[in-house]
Protein backbone atom coordinates (compact mmCIF):
# COMPACT_ATOMS: atom_id res chain seq x y z
CA UNK A 1 0.00 0.00 0.00
CA UNK A 2 1.37 3.42 -0.90
CA UNK A 3 1.99 5.84 1.95
CA UNK A 4 -0.40 8.80 1.88
CA UNK A 5 0.66 12.30 2.84
CA UNK A 6 -1.74 15.06 3.81
CA UNK A 7 -0.82 18.70 3.19
CA UNK A 8 -1.81 21.08 5.97
CA UNK A 9 -1.33 24.73 6.92
CA UNK A 10 0.78 23.51 9.85
CA UNK A 11 2.62 20.25 9.94
CA UNK A 12 2.15 17.09 7.90
CA UNK A 13 0.36 13.80 8.34
CA UNK A 14 1.15 10.43 6.81
CA UNK A 15 -0.88 7.24 6.92
CA UNK A 16 1.38 4.23 7.32
CA UNK A 17 0.81 0.78 5.75
CA UNK A 18 -0.27 -0.43 9.21
CA UNK A 19 -3.15 2.05 9.20
CA UNK A 20 -1.63 4.23 11.92
CA UNK A 21 -0.80 7.90 11.44
CA UNK A 22 2.50 9.74 11.72
CA UNK A 23 2.76 13.49 12.33
CA UNK A 24 5.57 16.00 11.86
CA UNK A 25 6.06 19.75 11.68
CA UNK A 26 8.74 22.34 11.01
CA UNK A 27 9.72 24.09 14.22
CA UNK A 28 10.85 27.68 14.73
CA UNK A 29 14.41 26.35 14.52
CA UNK A 30 13.81 25.32 10.90
CA UNK A 31 14.16 21.60 11.67
CA UNK A 32 11.53 18.93 11.10
CA UNK A 33 10.24 17.35 14.31
CA UNK A 34 8.36 14.04 14.36
CA UNK A 35 5.82 12.92 16.90
CA UNK A 36 7.47 10.51 19.39
CA UNK A 37 4.99 7.78 18.45
CA UNK A 38 2.35 7.01 15.84
CA UNK A 39 -1.40 7.49 16.35
CA UNK A 40 -4.40 5.23 16.08
CA UNK A 41 -6.43 7.80 14.17
CA UNK A 42 -5.96 10.88 12.05
CA UNK A 43 -7.90 12.90 14.64
CA UNK A 44 -5.35 12.02 17.35
CA UNK A 45 -2.46 13.04 15.08
CA UNK A 46 -4.16 16.35 14.28
CA UNK A 47 -4.68 17.01 17.99
CA UNK A 48 -0.96 16.49 18.64
CA UNK A 49 -0.11 18.98 15.88
CA UNK A 50 -2.60 21.47 17.29
CA UNK A 51 -0.88 21.28 20.70
CA UNK A 52 2.51 21.96 19.10
CA UNK A 53 1.06 24.93 17.19
CA UNK A 54 -0.33 26.45 20.41
CA UNK A 55 3.07 26.02 22.10
CA UNK A 56 4.73 27.93 19.27
CA UNK A 57 2.06 30.68 19.24
CA UNK A 58 2.43 31.22 23.02
CA UNK A 59 6.26 31.11 22.97
CA UNK A 60 6.16 27.95 25.06
CA UNK A 61 7.96 25.82 22.47
CA UNK A 62 11.35 24.51 23.66
CA UNK A 63 13.75 23.04 21.08
CA UNK A 64 15.45 20.95 23.78
CA UNK A 65 12.25 19.02 24.50
CA UNK A 66 10.48 19.39 21.16
CA UNK A 67 10.82 15.80 20.03
CA UNK A 68 10.36 14.17 23.44
CA UNK A 69 12.33 11.31 21.87
CA UNK A 70 11.07 7.83 22.67
CA UNK A 71 12.85 6.02 19.84
CA UNK A 72 14.90 3.31 21.60
CA UNK A 73 18.64 2.96 21.41
CA UNK A 74 19.90 0.28 19.05
CA UNK A 75 21.50 -1.71 21.89
CA UNK A 76 18.30 -1.85 23.94
CA UNK A 77 16.16 -2.68 20.92
CA UNK A 78 18.57 -5.38 19.70
CA UNK A 79 18.63 -7.07 23.11
CA UNK A 80 14.83 -7.18 23.25
CA UNK A 81 14.66 -8.32 19.61
CA UNK A 82 16.96 -11.27 20.29
CA UNK A 83 15.04 -12.46 23.34
CA UNK A 84 11.65 -12.25 21.62
CA UNK A 85 12.66 -13.35 18.11
CA UNK A 86 10.77 -16.32 16.70
CA UNK A 87 10.85 -18.22 13.41
CA UNK A 88 7.54 -19.68 12.29
CA UNK A 89 6.23 -19.08 15.79
CA UNK A 90 9.10 -20.92 17.52
CA UNK A 91 11.97 -19.49 19.57
CA UNK A 92 15.41 -19.39 18.01
CA UNK A 93 17.51 -22.53 18.19
CA UNK A 94 20.13 -22.46 20.94
CA UNK A 95 23.04 -22.32 18.51
CA UNK A 96 21.38 -19.57 16.44
CA UNK A 97 20.63 -17.53 19.57
CA UNK A 98 24.21 -17.83 20.79
CA UNK A 99 25.57 -16.96 17.34
CA UNK A 100 23.43 -13.82 17.16
CA UNK A 101 24.43 -12.88 20.71
CA UNK A 102 28.10 -13.12 19.82
CA UNK A 103 27.64 -11.03 16.66
CA UNK A 104 25.75 -8.37 18.60
CA UNK A 105 28.26 -8.18 21.44
CA UNK A 106 31.34 -8.16 19.23
CA UNK A 107 30.37 -6.25 16.12
CA UNK A 108 27.02 -4.45 16.27
CA UNK A 109 26.46 -3.04 19.76
CA UNK A 110 29.99 -1.59 20.12
CA UNK A 111 29.33 0.42 16.95
CA UNK A 112 25.62 1.28 17.16
CA UNK A 113 24.56 0.44 20.74
CA UNK A 114 24.26 4.02 22.00
CA UNK A 115 22.63 5.37 18.83
CA UNK A 116 18.85 5.86 18.64
CA UNK A 117 17.42 3.71 15.87
CA UNK A 118 16.33 6.72 13.84
CA UNK A 119 19.81 8.27 14.08
CA UNK A 120 21.50 5.39 12.23
CA UNK A 121 22.08 6.47 8.63
CA UNK A 122 23.05 4.56 5.46
CA UNK A 123 26.41 6.37 5.56
CA UNK A 124 27.08 5.07 9.10
CA UNK A 125 26.26 1.53 8.03
CA UNK A 126 28.45 1.74 4.93
CA UNK A 127 31.40 3.04 6.93
CA UNK A 128 30.98 0.30 9.54
CA UNK A 129 30.73 -2.42 6.91
CA UNK A 130 33.80 -1.12 5.04
CA UNK A 131 36.01 -1.96 8.05
CA UNK A 132 34.14 -5.03 9.30
CA UNK A 133 36.08 -8.33 9.50
CA UNK A 134 38.03 -7.87 6.25
CA UNK A 135 39.56 -11.36 6.44
CA UNK A 136 36.42 -13.24 7.50
CA UNK A 137 33.93 -12.97 4.65
CA UNK A 138 31.35 -15.37 6.09
CA UNK A 139 31.21 -13.78 9.54
CA UNK A 140 31.14 -10.37 7.90
CA UNK A 141 28.10 -11.38 5.87
CA UNK A 142 26.42 -12.84 8.97
CA UNK A 143 26.96 -9.65 10.98
CA UNK A 144 25.60 -7.44 8.22
CA UNK A 145 22.59 -9.71 7.66
CA UNK A 146 21.76 -9.58 11.37
CA UNK A 147 22.00 -5.78 11.37
CA UNK A 148 19.73 -5.59 8.32
CA UNK A 149 17.18 -7.98 9.88
CA UNK A 150 17.02 -6.04 13.14
CA UNK A 151 16.55 -2.76 11.31
CA UNK A 152 13.83 -4.35 9.17
CA UNK A 153 12.01 -5.18 12.40
CA UNK A 154 12.43 -1.56 13.50
CA UNK A 155 10.77 -0.46 10.25
CA UNK A 156 7.90 -2.84 10.95
CA UNK A 157 7.59 -1.44 14.47
CA UNK A 158 7.46 2.05 12.92
CA UNK A 159 10.47 3.36 14.83
CA UNK A 160 12.17 4.24 11.52
CA UNK A 161 10.84 4.97 8.04
CA UNK A 162 13.38 2.95 6.03
CA UNK A 163 16.16 0.45 6.59
CA UNK A 164 19.59 2.14 6.49
CA UNK A 165 21.31 -1.15 5.53
CA UNK A 166 21.69 -0.69 1.78
CA UNK A 167 25.11 -2.18 0.95
CA UNK A 168 24.42 -4.30 -2.14
CA UNK A 169 25.50 -7.95 -1.83
CA UNK A 170 26.81 -7.50 1.72
CA UNK A 171 24.58 -10.20 3.15
CA UNK A 172 26.20 -13.04 1.20
CA UNK A 173 29.71 -14.43 0.94
CA UNK A 174 31.21 -16.38 -1.90
CA UNK A 175 32.54 -19.78 -0.91
CA UNK A 176 36.30 -19.96 -1.46
CA UNK A 177 36.29 -23.66 -2.25
CA UNK A 178 33.90 -26.47 -3.03
CA UNK A 179 33.61 -29.56 -0.89
CA UNK A 180 35.07 -32.64 -2.52
CA UNK A 181 33.23 -35.73 -1.23
CA UNK A 182 35.21 -38.72 -0.06
CA UNK A 183 35.39 -41.81 -2.20
CA UNK A 184 34.23 -45.18 -0.92
CA UNK A 185 37.87 -46.23 -0.61
CA UNK A 186 38.77 -43.10 1.37
CA UNK A 187 35.85 -43.69 3.70
CA UNK A 188 37.02 -47.25 4.32
CA UNK A 189 40.51 -46.00 5.19
CA UNK A 190 39.16 -43.39 7.60
CA UNK A 191 36.99 -45.98 9.35
CA UNK A 192 39.87 -48.41 9.69
CA UNK A 193 42.02 -45.75 11.36
CA UNK A 194 39.39 -44.74 13.91
CA UNK A 195 39.14 -46.46 17.32
CA UNK A 196 36.52 -49.21 17.31
CA UNK A 197 34.11 -47.26 19.52
CA UNK A 198 33.97 -44.40 16.97
CA UNK A 199 33.91 -46.34 13.70
CA UNK A 200 30.12 -46.51 13.55
CA UNK A 201 29.96 -42.76 14.12
CA UNK A 202 31.91 -42.18 10.90
CA UNK A 203 29.75 -44.72 9.06
CA UNK A 204 26.49 -43.06 10.14
CA UNK A 205 27.84 -39.58 9.36
CA UNK A 206 28.67 -40.69 5.82
CA UNK A 207 26.24 -43.42 4.79
CA UNK A 208 23.24 -41.93 6.64
CA UNK A 209 24.25 -38.26 6.28
CA UNK A 210 23.68 -37.42 9.95
CA UNK A 211 24.79 -34.15 11.52
CA UNK A 212 27.27 -34.06 14.40
CA UNK A 213 24.69 -32.84 16.92
CA UNK A 214 22.31 -35.62 15.85
CA UNK A 215 25.02 -38.26 16.18
CA UNK A 216 26.15 -37.44 19.71
CA UNK A 217 22.54 -37.50 20.99
CA UNK A 218 21.73 -40.91 19.48
CA UNK A 219 20.76 -43.51 22.09
CA UNK A 220 20.18 -47.25 22.08
CA UNK A 221 16.43 -46.77 21.78
CA UNK A 222 16.91 -44.87 18.49
CA UNK A 223 18.41 -47.84 16.63
CA UNK A 224 16.13 -50.52 15.18
CA UNK A 225 18.30 -53.42 14.03
CA UNK A 226 15.31 -55.41 12.73
CA UNK A 227 14.08 -52.60 10.53
CA UNK A 228 17.61 -51.35 9.90
CA UNK A 229 16.78 -47.76 10.82
CA UNK A 230 18.00 -44.89 12.95
CA UNK A 231 15.39 -42.50 14.38
CA UNK A 232 16.57 -38.89 14.47
CA UNK A 233 14.33 -36.96 16.86
CA UNK A 234 16.81 -34.91 18.93
CA UNK A 235 20.14 -33.14 18.73
CA UNK A 236 22.65 -32.03 21.35
CA UNK A 237 24.01 -28.51 21.02
CA UNK A 238 26.90 -26.98 22.90
CA UNK A 239 26.15 -23.53 24.27
CA UNK A 240 28.65 -20.71 24.45
CA UNK A 241 29.25 -21.53 28.14
CA UNK A 242 30.33 -25.07 27.21
CA UNK A 243 27.18 -26.77 28.50
CA UNK A 244 25.17 -29.11 26.25
CA UNK A 245 21.43 -28.82 25.80
CA UNK A 246 19.10 -31.24 24.04
CA UNK A 247 16.93 -29.71 21.35
CA UNK A 248 15.14 -30.72 18.18
CA UNK A 249 17.09 -31.22 14.95
CA UNK A 250 18.05 -28.21 12.87
CA UNK A 251 14.67 -27.95 11.12
CA UNK A 252 11.23 -29.52 11.38
CA UNK A 253 12.16 -31.81 8.52
CA UNK A 254 15.17 -32.93 10.57
CA UNK A 255 12.93 -35.23 12.60
CA UNK A 256 13.11 -38.36 10.47
CA UNK A 257 13.80 -42.09 10.28
CA UNK A 258 16.85 -42.99 8.20
CA UNK A 259 17.46 -46.46 6.79
CA UNK A 260 20.99 -47.75 7.21
CA UNK A 261 22.61 -49.36 4.15
CA UNK A 262 22.66 -53.16 4.68
CA UNK A 263 26.45 -53.25 5.04
CA UNK A 264 26.24 -50.86 8.04
CA UNK A 265 23.67 -52.87 10.03
CA UNK A 266 26.10 -55.61 11.25
CA UNK A 267 28.49 -52.88 12.38
CA UNK A 268 25.67 -51.20 14.30
CA UNK A 269 24.76 -54.51 15.96
CA UNK A 270 28.36 -55.11 17.00
CA UNK A 271 28.70 -51.55 18.29
CA UNK A 272 25.57 -51.86 20.44
CA UNK A 273 26.80 -55.11 21.89
CA UNK A 274 30.32 -53.93 22.66
CA UNK A 275 30.37 -50.18 23.23
CA UNK A 276 26.92 -49.08 24.45
CA UNK A 277 25.34 -49.40 27.89
CA UNK A 278 22.33 -51.65 28.36
CA UNK A 279 19.80 -48.95 29.17
CA UNK A 280 17.47 -47.63 26.46
CA UNK A 281 18.81 -44.14 27.04
CA UNK A 282 22.48 -45.13 26.82
CA UNK A 283 24.40 -42.88 24.40
CA UNK A 284 25.79 -44.55 21.29
CA UNK A 285 28.95 -42.44 21.30
CA UNK A 286 29.71 -41.57 24.88
CA UNK A 287 32.69 -39.51 26.00
CA UNK A 288 35.21 -41.00 28.39
CA UNK A 289 33.63 -39.17 31.34
CA UNK A 290 30.16 -40.44 30.46
CA UNK A 291 28.90 -37.21 28.91
CA UNK A 292 28.59 -35.98 25.35
CA UNK A 293 31.48 -36.52 22.97
CA UNK A 294 33.09 -33.14 22.26
CA UNK A 295 34.48 -32.18 18.85
CA UNK A 296 37.95 -31.87 20.40
CA UNK A 297 37.85 -35.49 21.58
CA UNK A 298 36.63 -36.70 18.19
CA UNK A 299 39.20 -34.72 16.21
CA UNK A 300 42.02 -36.26 18.22
CA UNK A 301 41.26 -39.45 16.27
CA UNK A 302 39.57 -38.14 13.15
CA UNK A 303 42.41 -35.90 11.95
CA UNK A 304 45.02 -38.71 11.83
CA UNK A 305 42.44 -41.00 10.19
CA UNK A 306 41.68 -38.57 7.38
CA UNK A 307 45.41 -37.97 6.93
CA UNK A 308 45.87 -41.71 6.42
CA UNK A 309 43.30 -41.47 3.61
CA UNK A 310 45.13 -38.53 2.04
CA UNK A 311 42.21 -36.19 2.80
CA UNK A 312 43.48 -33.51 5.18
CA UNK A 313 40.84 -31.22 3.65
CA UNK A 314 37.87 -33.40 4.67
CA UNK A 315 36.01 -31.84 7.59
CA UNK A 316 33.84 -34.13 9.69
CA UNK A 317 30.74 -32.34 8.40
CA UNK A 318 31.91 -33.15 4.88
CA UNK A 319 31.07 -36.79 5.62
CA UNK A 320 27.41 -35.74 5.57
CA UNK A 321 28.03 -34.06 2.23
CA UNK A 322 29.63 -37.30 1.04
CA UNK A 323 26.59 -39.30 2.10
CA UNK A 324 24.28 -36.91 0.29
CA UNK A 325 26.24 -37.20 -2.95
CA UNK A 326 26.39 -41.00 -2.67
CA UNK A 327 22.62 -41.06 -2.21
CA UNK A 328 22.20 -38.84 -5.27
CA UNK A 329 24.41 -41.22 -7.27
CA UNK A 330 21.90 -44.00 -6.65
CA UNK A 331 19.31 -41.98 -8.57
CA UNK A 332 17.44 -40.64 -5.53
CA UNK A 333 14.90 -37.95 -6.39
CA UNK A 334 14.96 -34.47 -4.90
CA UNK A 335 12.11 -35.37 -2.55
CA UNK A 336 13.92 -38.53 -1.41
CA UNK A 337 17.16 -36.63 -0.78
CA UNK A 338 15.27 -33.92 1.06
CA UNK A 339 13.65 -36.47 3.36
CA UNK A 340 16.84 -38.46 3.99
CA UNK A 341 18.90 -35.36 4.77
CA UNK A 342 16.24 -33.65 6.85
CA UNK A 343 16.08 -30.47 4.76
CA UNK A 344 13.10 -28.12 4.84
CA UNK A 345 13.63 -27.01 1.23
CA UNK A 346 14.82 -28.67 -1.95
CA UNK A 347 17.60 -26.12 -2.59
CA UNK A 348 20.25 -28.02 -0.60
CA UNK A 349 19.21 -31.37 -2.07
CA UNK A 350 19.61 -29.88 -5.54
CA UNK A 351 23.29 -29.19 -4.80
CA UNK A 352 23.91 -32.87 -4.24
CA UNK A 353 22.03 -33.86 -7.39
CA UNK A 354 24.16 -31.43 -9.37
CA UNK A 355 27.29 -32.97 -7.85
CA UNK A 356 26.08 -36.41 -8.89
CA UNK A 357 25.81 -35.30 -12.52
CA UNK A 358 29.55 -35.83 -12.79
CA UNK A 359 28.64 -39.44 -13.54
CA UNK A 360 27.34 -38.48 -16.99
CA UNK A 361 30.57 -39.60 -18.67
CA UNK A 362 30.32 -42.98 -16.93
CA UNK A 363 26.74 -43.35 -18.12
CA UNK A 364 27.75 -42.53 -21.69
CA UNK A 365 30.52 -45.12 -21.55
CA UNK A 366 28.08 -47.72 -20.25
CA UNK A 367 25.70 -46.97 -23.14
CA UNK A 368 28.47 -47.66 -25.63
CA UNK A 369 29.06 -51.04 -24.04
CA UNK A 370 25.51 -52.01 -25.01
CA UNK A 371 26.45 -51.51 -28.66
CA UNK A 372 29.72 -53.37 -28.20
CA UNK A 373 27.78 -56.34 -26.91
CA UNK A 374 25.65 -56.45 -30.05
CA UNK A 375 28.67 -56.27 -32.37
CA UNK A 376 30.19 -59.48 -30.99
Long-range contacts of 158-165 (CB under 8 A, 24+ apart): 158/16, 158/18, 158/20, 158/22, 158/38, 159/71, 159/72, 159/77, 159/117, 159/118, 160/71, 160/117, 160/118, 160/120, 164/120, 164/121, 164/122, 164/124, 164/125, 165/122, 165/125
| Dist CA 269 CA 291 (whole Å) | 22
Instruction: Give me the catalytic one of 166, 239, 317, 354.
Output: 317
Instruction: Give me the catalytic one of 199, 219, 311, 320.
Output: 320
Instruction: Give me the catalytic one of 238, 271, 340, 343.
Output: 343
CB 205 within 8 A of CB 323: yes
Say whether 260 sits in a helix, a strand or coil: coil
Length of the chain counted residue by residue: 376
| Dist CA 235 CA 252 (whole Å) | 12
Instruction: Give me the catalytic one of 211, 238, 271, 321.
Output: 211
Q: Is residue 320 annotated as part of the catalytic site, yes or no?
A: yes
| Dist CA 159 CA 257 (whole Å) | 46
Cα 365 from chain centre: 42
* Catalytic residue numbers, as ranges: 211, 317, 320, 343, 352
Amino acid sequence: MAQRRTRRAFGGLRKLPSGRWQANYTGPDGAIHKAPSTFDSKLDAEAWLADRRREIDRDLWNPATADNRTCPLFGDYADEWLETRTIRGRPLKTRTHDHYRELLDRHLIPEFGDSPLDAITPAMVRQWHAHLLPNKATMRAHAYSLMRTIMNSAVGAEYIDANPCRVEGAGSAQRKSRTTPATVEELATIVENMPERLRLMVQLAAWCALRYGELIELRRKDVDLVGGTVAVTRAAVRRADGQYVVTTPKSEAGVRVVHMPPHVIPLAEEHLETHVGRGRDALLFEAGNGGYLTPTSLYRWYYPARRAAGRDDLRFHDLRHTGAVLAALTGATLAELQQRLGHSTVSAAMRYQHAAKGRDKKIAEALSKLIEGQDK
